Amino acid sequence: MLSLFVLLLGGSSCGGPGNEGLNVRLTLEEREQVDRMVTAQMDSLRPLIDSICRVTFDDQVALATDSIVQRQLEEEARLRARIPQTRRQ
């Protein structure tokens, strides 16, 4: 159970695209059990999660930057399209 949780947490700990389809539903008892195990193992989990974030950080930043730039370019194109042709000259 703990290894499943670590896998799910590691895959979604930094967020980003690709996690939209992940939908895990646990019962109250399962959540309490996971919480107890995570609390007991936090000292060993934190370095693992941090290392996953460090490894993927540059790619995540590049992806976010590209996304922001793309949205700004699309917004600029939409705004320019609204300007009448006579005002552009």
| Chain segment 6-59, per-residue pLDDT in tens | 555 555 555 555 556 678 888 999 999 989 988 888 888 888 889 999 999 999
How far, in Å, CA of 73 to CA of 86, rounded? 22
Half-sphere exposure (Cβ direction) of 63: Cα atoms closer than 13 Å: 10
Can you give the pLDDT at residue 40? 87
Q: Which sequence spans correspond to the domains of the chain? A: 2-11+23-88
In the structure, what pLDDT confidence band is assigned to residue 60 with cuts at 50, 70 and 90?
A: very high
> Residue 3 pLDDT more than 70?
no
Helix (H) or strand (E) holding 76: helix 28-82
Can you give the pLDDT at residue 18? 58
Can you give the pLDDT at residue 45? 82
Provide mean pLDDT across the span 60-64. Answer: 95
Can you give the pLDDT at residue 59? 95
Identify which of 76, 55, 71 has the alpha carbon closest to the alpha carbon of residue 11. Answer: 55
